[in-house]
C-alpha cells in the first residue's frame, strides 16, 4: 500500500500545481483587465477543482477502508503506520501547496471584490445615488448607503 499512497499523493500534488498555475493566470488576467483570460481561467479552475476533489475523495475512500477517518487527520495516522519517508514528504508538500492555493485564491477574491465595489460605486454615481457611503457590518457584509454618524463635536 506504500506505493499506492505515494502515487495517490503525487497525483493530488500534480492537480494542485495545475490549479495554482491557473490561479496565477487568473490573477494576471484580473490585474490586466483581460476578460477573455478571466473567463478562460475560471473554466479551467472549475475543471481542475473537480479533478482535485475526485483525488481527495479517492484518498478518503482508501483511508476509510483502513479504518481511518477521512481528511488530513486520517492521512497523518496512515503515514505514521506506513513509516514511509517519501510518502510523508509528498504529503507535506501537498499541504504547503494547499496553503499557497488558499492564499492565491484569497488574493484573487480580494481583487474581484475591489472591482465589484468600483463598478457598484460607478453605477451609483450614474443613477445619482452618490450621497451614501459604503460600510461593512461586523461580519464583513456590505451595507450600501449607510451614512456615518457624528460621534462628537468640538
Section 123-127 average pLDDT = 82
Beta bridge partners, 53, equal none
- Domains of the chain, by residue range, sit at 2-130
Instruction: Give the pLDDT confidence of 96-110 residue by residue, as tens digits.
Output: 999 999 999 999 999
d(CA 69, CA 106): 28
Q: Does residue 5 have a pLDDT over 70? A: yes
Q: Determine contact, residues 22/41, Cβ cutoff 8 Å.
A: yes
Let me know how long the chain is.
Answer: 154
Cβ atoms within 10 Å of 56's Cβ, excluding its own? 15
Q: What is the largest CA-CA distance in the chain?
A: 75
Closest-CA residue to 38 (of 46, 67, 117, 131)? 46
Q: Which three cell numbers stand for residue 118?
A: 468600483
Q: Determine contact, residues 108/23, Cβ cutoff 8 Å.
A: yes
What's residue 114's pLDDT?
Answer: 82
Quote the crossing angle between the two packed helices 85-126 and 2-32, to the nearest 10°.
20
Going by pLDDT thresholds of 50, 70 and 90, the confidence category of residue 126 is confident
Instruction: Give the pLDDT confidence of 132-149 residue by residue, as tens digits.
Output: 555 566 666 655 555 445
* Owner of C-alpha cell 481528511: 71
Fold designation for 2-130: Methane Monooxygenase Hydroxylase; Chain G, domain 1 (1.20.58)
What's residue 148's pLDDT?
Answer: 47
Alpha-helical (H) ranges within 66-84 are 71-82
Instruction: Give the pLDDT confidence of 46-99 residue by residue, as tens digits.
Output: 999 999 999 999 999 999 999 999 999 999 999 999 988 999 999 999 999 999
Amino acid at each position: 500500500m506504500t506505493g499506492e499512497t505515494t502515487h495517490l499523493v503525487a497525483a493530488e500534488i500534480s492537480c494542485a500545481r495545475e490549479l495554482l498555475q491557473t490561479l496565477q493566470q487568473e490573477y494576471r488576467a484580473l490585474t490586466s483587465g483581460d476578460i477573455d483570460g478571466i473567463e478562460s481561467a475560471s473554466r479551467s479552475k472549475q475543471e481542475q477543482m473537480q479533478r482535485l476533489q475526485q483525488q481527495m475523495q479517492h484518498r478518503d475512500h482508501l483511508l476509510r477502508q483502513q479504518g481511518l477517518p477521512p481528511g488530513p487527520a486520517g492521512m497523518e495516522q496512515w503515514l505514521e503506520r506506513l513509516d514511509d519517508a517519501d510518502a510523508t514528504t509528498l504529503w507535506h508538500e501537498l499541504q504547503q501547496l494547499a496553503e499557497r492555493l488558499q492564499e492565491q485564491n484569497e488574493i484573487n477574491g480580494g481583487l474581484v471584490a475591489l472591482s465589484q465595489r468600483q463598478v457598484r460605486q460607478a453605477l451609483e454615481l450614474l443613477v445619482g445615488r452618490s450621497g451614501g457611503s459604503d460600510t461593512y457590518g461586523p461580519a464583513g457584509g456590505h451595507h450600501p448607503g449607510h451614512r456615518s454618524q457624528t460621534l462628537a463635536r468640538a
